[in-house]
């Protein structure tokens, strides 16, 4: 799609942040293209139940929430391309226009870009993890939980995601070993209360998983108690890993400044170090990552981009 026409705005990423950016861009009458290489919604689609998004007192599944967001943007006209962006470069001598390259070798042009790239689950990096992905190693309780009905499984992590997914898994499994490397959780107090009260969950504090073993599928894991040095094997049918996320920013290669972990640095208007490039959602450097925060940033990024585009076009 080597296009000579120039879009006002291109949004890369179709999760909650990207969809909200698109909604605000369309309402601002910007000529906008949304680019998403996979499915709309990102990680949120895989969330079983969301109970802290305003307006849904009974909670709502991630799939349903994204379905509503997509319907809302479709009412304004959804201009979507399902391609992977591999490079963005600024054409300095053409009124500060950006060239957005796709993995198929084609490109398109825009005055501004919003990066709503999201993040991917971190891995433990231990023996057996890679080999058993899809064979007992999982990063999604909603997707794979039903396959472990009445089994014993392990969950690794101590944040909101780990505790939420452990609770989700108790709907299916016989027992959950919740393994955390520290002596207290980082998750919100309400989730901690639910986990501590759940009879199906046994917590292993100050512990790490050293290896995943099995024959064709996961059968046991090796766990180290960091305080005592004791090593034990737990017989489990699966291990669900929720130890945080890595930003999907590896391909930016100097386009914008990032923090030591690769998350994009922005100012209060979601402007990056590169004029005309804005960022929002889980790919941004910040202390908290929540759906509602991503949506707020998406709106702010679009409003800031609209001001920038108006300035560029009149200068």
User: What span, in angstroms and rounded, lies between the C-alpha atoms of 308 and 306?
Assistant: 5
Strand order in the sheet with 137-138: 137-138, 238-241, 152-156, 175-179, 201-204
Q: Which two tokens stand for residue 17?
A: 């942040």
Count of other CB atoms within 10 angstroms of residue 164: 24
Of 143, 183, 259, 267, the active-site residue reads 143
Alpha-carbon distances of 215 from 125, 126, 212, 220, rounded to whole Å: 19, 17, 11, 10
> How far is the C-alpha of 234 from the C-alpha of 255, rounded, in Å?
46
Q: What is the radius of gyration, based on Cα positions, of the chain?
A: 22
| Eight-state DSSP code of residue 5 | S
Q: Identify the residue whose tokens are 């919003």.
A: 114
Give catalytic status of residue 144 as yes or no. Answer: yes
Q: How many CB atoms lie within 10 A of CB 156?
A: 24
Catalytic residue among 144, 160, 280, 283: 144
Strands 231-235 and 218-225: antiparallel
- Of the candidates 28, 65, 268, 45, which has an alpha carbon nearest to the alpha carbon of residue 11? 28
Tokens 């702010």 appear where? Answer: 300
Confirm whether 140 is a catalytic residue: yes
Coil, helix or strand for 71? helix
Catalytic residue list contains 282: no
Rounded CA-CA distance 20/16 in Å is 6
| 154 DSSP β-pair partners | 177, 239
Catalytically annotated residue among 48, 140, 282, 283: 140
Which residues are annotated as catalytic? 140, 143-144
């Amino acid at each position: 799609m080597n296009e000579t026409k120039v879009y006002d705005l291109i949004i890369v990423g179709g999760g909650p942040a990207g969809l909200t950016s698109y909604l605000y861009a369309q309402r601002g009458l910007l000529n906008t293209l949304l680019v998403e290489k996979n499915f709309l919604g990102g990680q949120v689609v895989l969330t079983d139940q969301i109970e802290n998004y305003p307006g849904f007192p009974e909670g709502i599944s991630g799939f349903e929430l994204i379905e509503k967001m997509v319907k809302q943007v479709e009412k304004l006209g959804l201009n979507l391309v399902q391609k992977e962006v591999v490079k963005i470069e600024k054409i300095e001598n053409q009124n500060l226009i950006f060239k957005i390259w796709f993995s198929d070798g084609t490109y398109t042009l825009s005055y501004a870009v919003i990066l709503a790239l999201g993040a991917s689950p971190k891995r433990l990096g231990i023996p057996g993890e890679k080999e058993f992905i899809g064979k007992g190693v999982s990063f999604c309780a909603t997707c794979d939980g039903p396959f472990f009905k009445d089994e014993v499984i392990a969950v690794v992590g101590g944040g909101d995601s780990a505790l939420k997914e452990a609770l989700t898994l108790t709907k299916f499994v016989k027992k959950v070993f919740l393994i955390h490397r520290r002596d207290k959780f980082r998750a919100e107090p309400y989730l901690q209360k639910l986990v501590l009260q759940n009879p199906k969950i046994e917590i292993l504090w100050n512990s790490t998983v050293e290896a995943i073993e099995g024959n064709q599928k996961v059968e046991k894991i090796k766990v180290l108690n960091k305080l005592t040095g004791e090593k034990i094997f737990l017989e489990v049918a699966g291990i669900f890993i929720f130890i945080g996320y890595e930003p999907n920013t590896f391909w930016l290669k100097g386009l914008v400044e990032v923090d030591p972990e690769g998350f994009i640095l922005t100012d209060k208007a979601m402007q990056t170090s590169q004029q005309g490039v804005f960022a929002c959602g889980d790919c941004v450097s910040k202390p908290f990552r929540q759906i509602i925060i991503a949506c707020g940033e998406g709106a702010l990024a679009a409003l800031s981009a609209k001001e920038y585009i108006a300035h560029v076009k009149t200068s």
